[in-house]
Amino acid sequence: MKRAFPILAIVTALLLSFALYEALIGAPTERSMGDVQRIFYYHVPSAWTAFLLFSINFVASITYLISRRPAADILALTTAEVGVVFLTVNLVTGPIWARPVWGIWWTWDWRLTSTLVMWLIYVSYLLLRRFSSGGQAPVLAAALGVLGALCVPFVYFSIWFFRTQHPSPVIGGGGSLDPRMLHVLLLNWLAFLCLAWLVCWTRYRLEVVQRDVEQAQSLQSLLEVSR
């Protein structure tokens, strides 16, 4: 696995570079919105990546609640951290796109509000993991992770169930998308997925090492006390 890391890093860097070129130059310019629409190639894949990571967090949290396996807890923590980063990208790029198109930075419609609520839940998850040292902290965090994951389908389907200012989806929602735009969108999502995998892999290994060190330090302290 260690030998594969440099290869994955190089592939990810190449994919991100090529995807950036395609998003800024290769993709056709949208007629009504112009070049500002190119934020779409980062706004949408970042949301999809966050949804995927939060779904993995949901499975890992359920697994930990049932089995209390440390590996499941570490996976849940890792995917929550990286997922918050990608969702933050989504929340930041959204207003940048909305300002020239809608004339406002933000509106409290169902899609935007529910996305912000989901972000706050996972930020609370990370704060709980960061500042709580009790034995029940992973259990409480796992329960919070399950709650946060329940927001994912609500956020995704909110524009089907409610009238919102957020545009309807161009994929699977009755809209249309130029095939070249779809190609660039999927290319950027692939690059984001590779980046997410790379960061999660690194963060997972770091957390394992950190817990091993903490366990060794605790054992050493006990030995010193018993002498």
- pLDDT, tens digit (0-9, with 9 covering 90-100), for 102-154: 888 888 888 888 899 999 999 999 999 888 766 788 899 999 999 999 889 88
Q: Which pLDDT belongs to residue 105?
A: 86
| Whole-model pTM over 0.85 | yes
Using alpha carbons, list the distances in angstroms from residue 66 to 62, 163, 182: 6, 39, 40
3-class DSSP assignment, residue 163: coil
CB 74 within 8 A of CB 81: no
Q: Which pLDDT belongs to residue 110?
A: 83
Q: Which pLDDT belongs to residue 226?
A: 65
Q: Which pLDDT belongs to residue 167?
A: 65
Task: Report d(CA 72, CA 88) in Å as an integer.
Answer: 24
Q: Which pLDDT belongs to residue 170?
A: 61
Q: Which pLDDT belongs to residue 178?
A: 80
Task: Report d(CA 15, CA 194) in Å as an integer.
Answer: 8
| Residues in the chain with pLDDT values less than 50 | none
* CA nearest to 184, candidates 13, 30, 6: 30
Q: What is the largest CA-CA distance in the chain?
A: 77
Q: Which pLDDT belongs to residue 214?
A: 78
Question: Which residue's structure tokens are 């006390």?
Answer: 225
Task: Report d(CA 153, CA 51) in Å as an integer.
Answer: 9
Strands (E), 135-224: none
Q: Which pLDDT belongs to residue 30?
A: 84
